[in-house]
Structure 1
């Protein structure tokens, strides 16, 4: 087996990718990511020890978050980036060891020179040092040794299937959490408790004394902290750009040259809009950047033209037709075709070998002038569709409509809500969600967030008394809004249990942000969530049974049978 990865829904055969990732990840990249996660866990142990003795290292905190994010599915395909990060992480761990040891913390030591310096300084005993995980002591700068070590620290290095499953469940939840933390940080919002938990959880994932019950508890704790992470990003976005409002978004094109921006990072979009204002270049959103149109702060930009295309997996076709430069701000990049390789750019943790990358300066400013100049020399986008789509139904906007929604429920005009949030993907089986939306009774409303919406947000499903039958709260990051809406409805109807609401959960998942959303919903007490088009490959039979028994987690079958099951609830 040359590699093993099963962190996304498209894991080969529903079991795991062992030759090359379905995402396009090669063996050497997969193993470099495995080694980086191992290094991050070792750094997290030292970082966690540091916090116990009052040492808070911002550089280590940020490195842990950014490295987790870089290994999310479809985020980065540049092996040189991961090798560089491994070296940086090891050096940072050693620097932090010295700082923690000086403060009286118990830390591992890489070699005799460090041992001599630190132990003689603080008087630690060698047997204390030996109790720490090997991830805190392994060190190398040699690429061959990196390759050798990577063979031993991947997913399958945990032999017990159930412990492995729970460790990966938590790891993937932490990767999803990293997205919220990093994007909030870009806007100047931070939550030290969330970051501290991430280090603590990573450290616990190295503890071979922990039981299945311990790791179940850790996964649920990740869900609890995940709610705080989502709240952090929601606060960052709304305090910076205002609360989303009902908005009609154009899906056609103009005659000006354009730049297409994809991903999730609103700060990147803001800088791009600022730098393109007055240049004659329009800006279009793609995929998960669509909900940016709902924020009041972006509506002042007259050259913010609309949304182009669909979910992330169609980018090979749609990027080719766009004609202008494309900026990828976060995960969801697909290995680019040669036809547009020279006009795609990455930024942040995103990357692809051979693609131009734009870094921020010391003040967080990114120079997008190369995209602007290139856009001016290229044709305007080729039109692929026309019309408008409506969105902006985040929590504050829905709260403003609360009386209308409650009246519709009480009168029977709305019989049931269906949460159909999550991710889209390549598999034809995902057409299930289009058919499901089409066949839903006319007295039901879909609550959505994430790119799963592209399976049905352009269907003419109508409205109920002026309330659209598809209420789009925003990005996958905005699933927090759906939780707040459910909690608000529970309060309004005076219910004791959130599961008494007329809400069914039929969620499509793809990558690790969906994992932290799931864990967060479980923490909030939501039961009977159905996941599709397949259950995660990383859930062992025993762990899956625990989720079924305790939370009613289920999969999907076919539209008619599932529809009957949901409507009978």
Structure 2
């Protein structure tokens, strides 16, 4: 086993015995084998497009398969066995379509003809031969760039899948994913080509996030500023975590009138701002904080728990019988619900006591997506011009358990009172419940949404730059980002594609970035590690 795709990888170098995330070496090998198989499928898909063949089932499967290998998504080895076999079946069916259209029927790379072994144990052995370090002689900088591209593609595939679930697709997004995955098999691809593909991945990801934004806002309305209680209401309860708005919508409809209150957890918090979701009276509030605290928080929650998309950790025995997964999420032994039928979750919630009394708590504000923020843009612009607002800080990204993340709490606490903090993704749980006050009625802490809502932040920055007639890098705006997994990787690539400089990244730099590749990022984009809150604020504000 060797895996270094997340920020918490062992010793900052790589997990070699078991994943820090809880991933077993057998599962890691099967994930590597699935990625290998998807690369072979991608070779055929690229050839197909040359002769006008593009298969929607292949496109969707590709994104789902890649998404399944993200950190904290699927830990169930047997599901990967199925995915690998399905991948080969899709590939062989696509080959026939391509050949019928006059395309190539044979390929030089063995990945295009790979056939999995008959048993799971044999497939695990195959996976161990095609992992990250399968070629010990590969140039370390090329390896670094290849994996940067692959992890960017994992994030891109996740966003494309989120969007497709809501009916938003773009052939160009699928085409690039296949093109780039196939390119990683080409030993003649050099440093410049990999850098170009990585930045292209960031560009295509902006389109994928635009599609997701259209799916979310087109289906559930633009988020509006909304106060969300952090306490609890007496009664039966279901907690939903992850990112998927459609799953939440379905759960709300299926629980209507059943006396069950629905609570969000983690990145589902911003869902309270969507008009079509917040109209449900039993959609009550938010419980808990970020994904890495779920074991303790789920243990204390007196109801059923539903995990959507990603961010699952090994469940404790105390709640193993009342946690459920859906979609691409999986954990061995945990009940997986399919076909948008959440009956098992509902029945479990009804069988439990729920909250026996009301619980008082703080409240937080959400709903400051691009529509809400740009709706008060004239006030914001005037506040900047008259120096009421000196600077904007985008403090966001993934949260995690690794030491050093208190930096983000301290940074926000020390931001001067004439500055505004924009935040998104689960990194905000380091400071989401702090009252920073307002500047002329504009809250100093603006929750833009999930990591899936990064498009909103990009649009806000671009709109402000246009309003002031400057480039984004000339705005009084600094980005202080935290990362953990592959969605964060592709968002970083999107920012680099846009030419955004001076990003501060932490709590540690990616283990898969070689010293030479890091130098390129520093020289071209002045990307830098976080320092101390006091030192970074002084460097930014003077």
Structures share fold, TM-score greater than 0.5: yes
Q: C-alpha deviations, 1:60-89, integer Å up to 9, x for none?
A: 111110011101100011000111111111
Could you tell me how far apart the structure 2 residues matched to 1:557 and 1:193 are? 39
133, 138, 141: which one pairs with 2:109?
A: 133
Check whether the contact 2:240–2:262 (CA below 8 A) recurs between aligned residues. yes
Q: Is 1:155 the equivalent of 2:129?
A: no
**Cα drift, residue 385 of structure 1:** 6.7
55, 71, 89: which one pairs with 2:87?
A: 89
- Residue 452 of structure 1 corresponds to which residue in structure 2? 427
- Residue 310 of structure 1 corresponds to which residue in structure 2? 289
SS in 2 for 1:460: coil
Mapping for residues 389-468 of structure 1, pairs under 5 Å: 389-468=364-443
- Residue 9 of structure 1 corresponds to which residue in structure 2? 7
Which runs of no fewer than 5 residues in structure 2 stay unpaired? none
SS in 2 for 1:346: strand
Q: C-alpha deviations, 1:417-455, integer Å up to 9, x for none?
A: 111111110123101110111111111111111001101
210-219 or 176-185: bigger deviation: 176-185
Could you tell me how far apart the structure 2 residues matched to 1:398 and 1:376 are? 40
Q: Is 1:205 the equivalent of 2:184?
A: yes
Q: C-alpha deviations, 1:180-213, integer Å up to 9, x for none?
A: 1111111111111111111111011111001111
SS in 2 for 1:244: coil
429-438 or 156-165: bigger deviation: 156-165
Could you tell me how far apart the structure 2 residues matched to 1:359 and 1:171 are? 29
- Residue 47 of structure 1 corresponds to which residue in structure 2? 45
Could you tell me how far apart the structure 1 residues matched to 2:529 and 2:27 are? 31
Could you state the TM-score of these two structures normalised by the residue count of structure 2? 0.98
Mapping for residues 101-180 of structure 1, pairs under 5 Å: 101-108=99-106, 129=107, 132-143=108-119, 144-158=121-135, 159-180=138-159
Could you tell me how far apart the structure 2 residues matched to 1:15 and 1:381 are? 44
Check whether the contact 2:84–2:116 (CA below 8 A) recurs between aligned residues. no
Could you tell me how far apart the structure 2 residues matched to 1:141 and 1:54 are? 32
Could you tell me how far apart the structure 2 residues matched to 1:133 and 1:422 are? 38
Mapping for residues 206-225 of structure 1, pairs under 5 Å: 206-225=185-204
Q: Is 1:375 the equivalent of 2:356?
A: no
Where does structure 1 differ by over 3 angstroms across 4 or more consecutive aligned residues? 381-385
- Residue 555 of structure 1 corresponds to which residue in structure 2? 529
450, 456, 467: which one pairs with 1:475?
A: 450
Q: Name the Cα RMSD after superposition.
A: 1.2
Could you state the TM-score of these two structures normalised by the residue count of structure 1? 0.93
Check whether the contact 2:337–2:344 (CA below 8 A) recurs between aligned residues. no
Which runs of no fewer than 5 residues in structure 1 stay unpaired? 109-128, 361-365
Could you tell me how far apart the structure 1 residues matched to 2:391 and 2:522 are? 23
Check whether the contact 2:362–2:433 (CA below 8 A) recurs between aligned residues. no
Mapping for residues 64-75 of structure 1, pairs under 5 Å: 64-75=62-73
498, 501, 509: which one pairs with 2:475?
A: 501
Check whether the contact 2:233–2:359 (CA below 8 A) recurs between aligned residues. no
**Cα drift, residue 394 of structure 1:** 0.6
Q: C-alpha deviations, 1:309-345, integer Å up to 9, x for none?
A: 1001110011111121100011100110000000000
What is the number of equivalent residue pairs in this alignment? Answer: 538
Q: C-alpha deviations, 1:13-41, integer Å up to 9, x for none?
A: 11111111110001001111011000011
